Amino acid sequence: MAKIFSGIQPTGQLHLGNYLGAIKNWVELQDTYDCIYCIVDYHAMTIPYQPDQMQKNILEAAADLIAAGIDPQKSILFIQSHVPEHTELAWMLNTVTPLSELKRMTQFKDKSKQFPENVNMGLFDYPVLQAADILLYSTDKVPVGEDQIQHLELTRLIARKFNQKFGETFVEPEVLLTKTPRVMSLKDPSKKMSKSLGPAHYIALTDKPEIIQDKIKKAVTDTGENSAEVSPGVQNLFTLLEIFGRAEVYKKFTAEHQAGKIKYAELKEELGQAISDYFADFREQKQKLLANPEGLRDLLAQGTKKAREIAVKNIKDIKNKVGL
């Protein structure tokens, strides 16, 4: 079976962007691929964080993923820093990564602007550690959101450069996008949905029904008078309704919009309800999982053992190639 690898930072709760852009795909791929999913705690150190919250955030990420449908019996689910081969490989990959390529990365530029007091070397080197995560497991495909395409291109370049210098070693992995690779912010639909914009901009999968209703109610739309144009805010709500709502409800509102007769308050009410219903089971499962932190730690330890078996074997071969 072809191999899948992807990661997520333990930086708090999952939002609809993470879910629709990546995690929903992770869940669906489990039956047809060998899947490895990683909680990337080393990556989370590159932005300001509280050390005493990290373990809680890691468990929360694990609970999020399992409640969303990742099955630790089918897929390998583990913590990045528990497999030291990731950072070992990152160092070796650093030596074949052109500085000029790293300087082009838009995520580095964005996060440097966001945290001007903390423009650190780890943030700059983030894509090389990500390349190590992926290449260490001979990954064929990487399910991520659109914002990660540039990093994946760099991963492919690093694999090529390494292979040219040291002989055929790495597979060049491909990006796997979902139908919604870029979910937009509710309050500023010109930007991608992200936690860093603030709670009004995103819906967390654990948000309670009344919070979801409230956030959707305050989402940006348009005046509804110009039926030929679909504004970015309305398009975003339609995209969500198509996924979470019933087909006939989606059809009704798009037809009303075309006719210039749509009432956004009604659309928002329907959408808020549909999202709340869709994640009702998720909310319950996550609470159950978090009530048993030992159980979660056990699952992660089992995953780490399986990941490490592959990593140790592969790093031996890689070290051989580079003459170490």
Residues noted as catalytic: 111, 192, 195
From CA 154, how far away is CA 123, in angstroms rounded? 15
Q: Which is nearer to ligand ADP, 135 or 315 (CB)?
A: 135
Pick from 189, 170, 298: which is nearest to 239 by CA? 189
The least distance separating ligand ADP from the CB of residue 11, rounded to whole angstroms, comes to: 6
Closer CB to ligand ADP, 156 or 315, in the complex: 156
108 vs 123: CA distance, rounded Å: 6
Question: CB of 53: closest distance to ligand ADP in angstroms?
Answer: 16
- Compare residues 39 and 92 and give the one whose CB is closer to ligand ADP: 39
* Shortest CB 141 distance to ligand ADP, Å: 13
Nearer to ligand ADP, 17 or 127 (CB): 17
Give me the half-sphere count of Cα atoms (radius 13 Å) on the Cβ side of residue 107: 23
- Specify the amino acid at residue 74: K
Residue with Cβ nearer ligand ADP (21 or 245): 21
In the bound state, the residue with its beta carbon closest to ligand ADP is 21
**CA–CA dist 38, 27 (Å, integer):** 13
Least Cβ distance, residue 278 to ligand ADP (angstroms): 17
Binding site for ligand ADP (CB under 6 A): 8-9, 11, 17-18, 21-22, 144-145, 147-148, 181-183, 192-195
- Pairwise CA distance, residues 105 & 180, whole Å: 22
Please state the closest distance from residue 259 (CB atom) to ligand ADP, in A.
30
- In the complex, minimum distance from the CB of residue 145 to ligand ADP, in angstroms, rounded to a whole number: 2
Nearer Cβ to ligand ADP, position 65 or 274?
65
